[in-house]
């Protein structure tokens, strides 16, 4: 069983994907972490994220980076959205994600292109939404809890620019798969959003 969970930043897709993985006892992959690891490598090697060859050179990142706290920084997310627009970066990370999705026993993956590119054959596809202001409030609270004092206005501006970049790129843009069930978490508690997600998956199995 493959479950694809896509959506924009801070929509709740990560929380929902982790809860689904626990519920169905299958492994989970946050695919954003792969692009974030490429971004962090680019930053640490002082490469240029807008140059495709520089970003590709960072695709062989050190696996230990996947546990690095700096992956979650807002700045890393911005650079991730720049490197992820390069077709050769997406190609370099494709097989790893496809293998994870198609492992025996199934998997839950969350990202931007799981239902469209990584696992178009997924058994259930969810597209998670929330308004930009609500997503910015969530991300702002999350950053504050980590001691990051980025202002709310900055977080909202970052979310909007990442949305624009992720939705408008030519390769694997952020768009719902035609057969995805859509879930708006704007006015739902985490518990209510997870319960709805499970009900949507059940309806598709």
Applying CB under 6 A, the residues found at the interface with ligand C5P are 9, 31-32, 35-36, 77, 80-81, 84, 111-113, 162, 166
Q: In this complex, which beta carbon is closest to ligand C5P, that of residue 144 or of residue 202? A: 144
Is residue 8 annotated as involved in ligand binding? yes
14 is in an annotated binding site: yes
The CB-of-10 to ligand C5P minimum distance in angstroms stands at 8
Q: How far apart are CA 80 and CA 55, in angstroms?
A: 10
Nearer to ligand C5P, 24 or 158 (CB): 158
CB of 111 to ligand C5P, least distance (A): 2
Instruction: Please check whether residue 141 is in contact with residue 156, taking contact to mean a CB–CB distance below 8 angstroms.
Output: no
Burial 17-49 (b: 16+ CB within 10 A, else e): bbbbbeebebebbbbbbbbbbbbbbbbeeebeb
Q: Minimal distance in Å, beta carbon 178 to ligand C5P?
A: 18
Shortest Cβ distance from residue 99 to ligand C5P (Å)?
15
Task: Confirm or deny that 12 is annotated as ligand binding.
Answer: yes
Residue with Cβ nearer ligand C5P (37 or 202): 37
| 15 carries a ligand binding annotation | yes
Distance CA 132, CA 194 (A): 20
Distances 34 to 22, 92, 94 between C-alpha atoms, Å: 21, 11, 10
Burial class from Cβ neighbours inside 10 Å (0-12, 13-18, 19+) for residue 152 reads: middle
| Closest to 61 measured CA to CA, from 28, 92, 24 | 92
Determine whether the annotation assigns residue 189 to a binding site: no
Nearer to ligand C5P, 24 or 76 (CB): 76
Binding-site members are 7-15
């Amino acid at each position: 069983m493959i479950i694809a969970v896509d959506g924009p930043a801070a929509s709740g897709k990560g929380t929902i994907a982790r809860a689904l993985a626990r519920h169905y006892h299958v492994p989970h992959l946050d695919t954003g972490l792969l692009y974030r690891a490429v971004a962090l490598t680019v930053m640490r090697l002082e490469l240029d994220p807008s140059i495709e060859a520089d970003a590709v050179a960072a695709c062989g990142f050190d696996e230990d980076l996947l546990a690095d706290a700096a992956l979650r920084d807002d700045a890393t997310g911005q650079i991730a959205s720049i490197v992820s627009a390069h077709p050769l970066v997406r190609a370099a990370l494709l097989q790893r994600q496809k293998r994870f999705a198609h492992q025996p026993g199934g998997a839950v993956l969350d990202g931007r292109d799981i239902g469209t590119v990584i696992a178009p054959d997924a058994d259930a596809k969810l597209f998670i939404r929330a308004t930009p202001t609500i997503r910015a409030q969530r991300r702002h609270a999350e950053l504050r809890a980590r001691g990051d004092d980025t202002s709310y206005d900055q977080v909202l501006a970052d979310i909007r620019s990442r949305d624009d970049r992720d939705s408008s790129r030519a390769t694997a843009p952020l768009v719902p798969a035609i057969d995805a069930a859509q879930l708006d978490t704007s006015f739902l508690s985490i518990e209510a959003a997870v319960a709805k997600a499970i009900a949507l998956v059940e309806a598709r199995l």
